[in-house]
Structure 1
Amino acid sequence: MGAGDFDLTMNELRAVVRFAADCAQELLPEFESVAPNDPRPRDAIDAARRFVDGAPRSNLQRTAAFASHRAAKDVSDEAAQLASLACGDAAAAAYLHPIAKASQVGHILRAAACAARVSELRTGTPDGNKLHDLADRATPPLPEILRRYPVAPSGSSRVAQLMSALDSTIRDRN
Structure 2
Amino acid sequence: MSSPAAVAAARAAAQAAGVAHMGAHALGAAAYAAKAVGLAAPDRPDAVRDEVSWQLEQMTDATRSALRQLPPVGEDTAGPLGSGLLASGLLGSTIREIQAAIGSTSSQRSGR
TM over 0.5: yes
TM-score band by shorter chain is 0.5 to 0.7
Q: Does 1:92 align with 2:18?
A: yes
Matching residue of 2:79: none
Structure 1 outlier segments of 4+, above 6 Å: none
Letter in 2 for 1:142: T
Instruction: Please give the per-residue CA displacement for 1:9-57, whole angstroms capped at 9, x wherever unaligned.
Output: xxxxxxxxxxxxxxxxxxxxxxxxxxxxxxxxxxxxxxxxxxxxxxxxx
**Among 6, 10, 29, which residue is 1:111 paired with?**
29
Contact 2:68 2:102 survives alignment (8 Å):
no
> What secondary structure is seen at the aligned counterpart in 2 of 1:141?
helix
What is the Cα deviation at residue 122 of structure 1? Answer: 2.5
What is the Cα deviation at residue 156 of structure 1? Answer: 2.6
Q: Which runs of 5+ in 2 are unaligned?
A: 75-85, 105-112
**Among 69, 92, 108, which residue is 1:160 paired with?**
92
TM-score normalized by the length of structure 1: 0.46
> What secondary structure is seen at the aligned counterpart in 1 of 2:73?
coil
Contact 1:151 1:168 survives alignment (8 Å):
no
What is the Cα deviation at residue 78 of structure 1? Answer: 0.9
CA RMSD, Structure 1 to Structure 2 (Å): 2.0
> What secondary structure is seen at the aligned counterpart in 2 of 1:95?
coil
**Among 86, 90, 102, which residue is 1:170 paired with?**
102
**Among 134, 142, 145, which residue is 2:63 paired with?**
142
Contact 1:79 1:118 survives alignment (8 Å):
yes
TM-score normalized by the length of structure 2: 0.68
Q: Count how many residue pairs are aligned between Structure 1 and Structure 2.
A: 90
What is the Cα deviation at residue 108 of structure 1? Answer: 1.9
What is the Cα deviation at residue 116 of structure 1? Answer: 1.0
* % identical aligned pairs: 24
Q: Distance in 2 between matches of 1:157 and 1:136?
A: 24
What is the Cα deviation at residue 169 of structure 1? Answer: 1.6
After the TM superposition, which residues 116-131 of structure 1 pair with which residues of structure 2 at under 5 Å, given as runs? 116-124=34-42, 125-127=45-47, 128-131=49-52
Letter in 2 for 1:85: R
Contact 1:152 1:164 survives alignment (8 Å):
yes
